[in-house]
Amino acid sequence: MTDSSAEASDSSNFIRDIIDADLAAGKIDTIVTRFPPEPNGYLHIGHAKSICLNFGIARDYNGYCNLRFDDTNPEKEEQEYIDSIRRDVQWLGFEWHSNPFASDYFGQLYDFAIDLIKQGKAYVDSQSADDIRANRGTLTEPGSKSPYRDRSVEENLQLFEAMKNDEYADGEHVLRAKIDMNSPNIKMRDPVLYRIRHVTHHNTGDDWCIYPLYDFTHGLSDSIEGVTHSLCTLEFEDHRPLYDWILDNLETPSRPVQTEFARLQLEYSLTSKRKLNALVTEGHVSGWDDPRMLTISGMRRRGFTPESIVNFCDMIGITKKNSTIEMGVLETALRDDLNARALRRMAVINPLKVVIENYPEDQEEFFDGANHPQKPELGTREVPFSREIYIERDDFMEDAPRKFFRLSPGREVRLRFAYYITCKEVIKNAAGEIESLICTYDPASRGGSSPDGRKVKGTIHWVSASHAVDATVNLYDRLFTMPNPGAAADFHQALNPESRVVMNNAKFEPAIELTDNAIAYQFERLGYFISDYDSTSDQPIFNRTMTLRDSWAKIEQSQKIG
């Protein structure tokens, strides 16, 4: 569970079976994969699945994986995204062999296009975009040939060069593959290979005014890099014949094979770039790294560990079946990892003051609290105790049912690590709201057990009032109330209005590092927490990464219903 994120997984899948077969047949000896994001947005949990697949295979087969930026559309790509993608891949624990841009290959790609033209397998089309669309046919009707389809090789060569030499405006011409306008696969009806775009490219600047499209670029880039297994999502299945056509009609350095797998779909979440972007720009979240976002950067800020994400990806598997993963799977992967590593501390999020009337007014003492109940090697910390403490308001109930194992008038409860206390009196304000509790403690129960061996069912957490550190805590819940917000007519209506609840009167025990975002804590009985990027010693801010499993809440819930 605490293994490094880049550890080998024992999970097999149909893609690994293909690789095993290729290896056994002697087709290849070094496995090469690539993760090819377009730098036009932030990476999310869906990308993590692909990253784990591609980098995981390369690692397990002693091959290598490239991080290639598929940057053939200069209108949407930015340095900000490049930086974040690199950071996220590394944070997940993976190392790329090389990190090229598809745009690094523009020169070679241009030469390949010339080759196709010379073979009579590509032509310059001068129809408008609308005409091209109209002539493409429909799902059930074949397309019709462009009037420019039979231009001579010489004319095509001259026109394409002129396109490259900035002699035309955007949209005046395109380069198309000459395949089959009658193909039942629409992708094969003379797909566009190059378009004119007078836009400055983040990597090539103004060197080019023609840009290749994905289908022309991808397989050739794979081939140039020696990629053996080009893994992509299901919606590219129709592109595979075109991927193959490009490689089969050109003399390429190597012959990669494309295989498709199902993209990740997670309940109560969105991975559409457009909708994610809307959440950010419309202000429903604070940014791409808002802790509620299932972007890698959001999850990092929320307190996910890379290991938990990698383990999640192992748990869900790789298939060709469209499926939707329940949130519980992600939550379990997270809790498993955090449970193993998080240091235990006590914090009170919604405080209720308790005065222990028989405890000496100016006395204080310190208890040793284990940093981890199952890992004594992680040591202990000192937990201060005094006459006035805070407990969680939820841990007190005036009229408590029998199964409520916490504090209520006349009942005794254990303060974790400290003493047994009994509630003697409830102090209320004029409005009838509970203001504080008067309790007594049993000095003989020091450490949390009494010599007479009497049983105390409940143990609650607490913080000494005079030693407490004031803090703000963000409680996060799922961003959407519907299992499939992406299917809603308007995903805004699925937004959870209580996805973030700010508790700004929290009380921490002193032994909590306020600004180290790398330390995962478990606040006992409350969940896993981590300091936010904005946290300072003066104004501590913590994010609740995930609650603990709560079977009491489940019982309460069923009692209300039943």
Smallest distance, Å, CB 126 to RNA?
A: 8
Active site residue 273: yes
| Residue of 114, 181, 192, 514 interacting with RNA (CB under 7 A) | 192
Q: Is 337 in the site for RNA (CB under 7 A)?
A: no
| Residues sharing a CB contact under 8 Å with residue 26, sequence separation 6 or more, in sequence order | none
Q: Is 14 in the site for RNA (CB under 7 A)?
A: yes
| Residue of 87, 97, 121, 136 interacting with RNA (CB under 7 A) | 136
Candidate ranges 23-31, 158-166, 282-290, 521-529; the one touching RNA (CB under 7 A): 521-529
Smallest distance, Å, CB 300 to RNA?
A: 22
Q: Is 129 in the site for RNA (CB under 7 A)?
A: yes
List the catalytic residue out of 273, 353, 446, 500.
Answer: 273
CB 444 within 8 A of CB 486: no
Nearest Cα to Cα of residue 252 among 209, 274, 220: 220
Smallest distance, Å, CB 253 to RNA?
A: 21
Interface with RNA (CB under 7 A), residue total: 86
Smallest distance, Å, CB 495 to RNA?
A: 22
Q: Is 140 in the site for RNA (CB under 7 A)?
A: yes
Task: Tell me the two tokens of residue 92.
Answer: 């997940």
What's the gap between Cα 446 and its chain centre? 45
Active site residue 263: yes
| Residue spans of beta strands (DSSP E) within 398-491 | 412-415, 420-428, 434-442, 459-460, 462-464, 469-476
Smallest distance, Å, CB 59 to RNA?
A: 19
At residue 366, the 3 state secondary structure works out as strand
Q: Is 196 in the site for RNA (CB under 7 A)?
A: yes
Stretch 24-43: interaction string toward RNA, x if CB under 7 A: ------------x-x-----
At residue 225, the 3 state secondary structure works out as helix
CB 484 within 8 A of CB 498: no
Q: Is 139 in the site for RNA (CB under 7 A)?
A: yes
DSSP structural state of residue 263: P
List the catalytic residue out of 7, 38, 161, 388.
Answer: 38
| Residue spans of beta strands (DSSP E) within 228-359 | 229-233, 257-261, 343-345, 347-348, 351-356
Smallest distance, Å, CB 134 to RNA?
A: 8
Active site residue 375: no
| Residue of 4, 62, 138, 429 interacting with RNA (CB under 7 A) | 138
Q: Is 8 in the site for RNA (CB under 7 A)?
A: no
Candidate ranges 352-360, 400-408, 427-435, 530-538; the one touching RNA (CB under 7 A): 400-408
Among positions 163-182, residues that touch RNA (CB under 7 A) are 170-171, 174
DSSP secondary structure string, 142-201? Answer: -----TTTT--HHHHHHHHHHHHTT-S-TTS-EEEE---TT-SSGGGSS-EEEEE----B
Q: How far is CA 500 from CA 470, 474, 543, 544, in A?
A: 19, 7, 10, 10
Q: Is 12 in the site for RNA (CB under 7 A)?
A: yes
Q: Is 149 in the site for RNA (CB under 7 A)?
A: no
Q: CA-CA distance, 530 to 276, in Å (whole number)?
A: 24
Q: CA-CA distance, 291 to 534, in Å (whole number)?
A: 12
Q: CA-CA distance, 375 to 321, in Å (whole number)?
A: 41
Q: CA-CA distance, 350 to 475, in Å (whole number)?
A: 12
Among positions 444-463, residues that touch RNA (CB under 7 A) are 447-449, 458-459
| Residue of 67, 70, 163, 381 interacting with RNA (CB under 7 A) | 70
Among positions 461-520, residues that touch RNA (CB under 7 A) are none
> Which residues are the active-site residues?
38, 263, 273
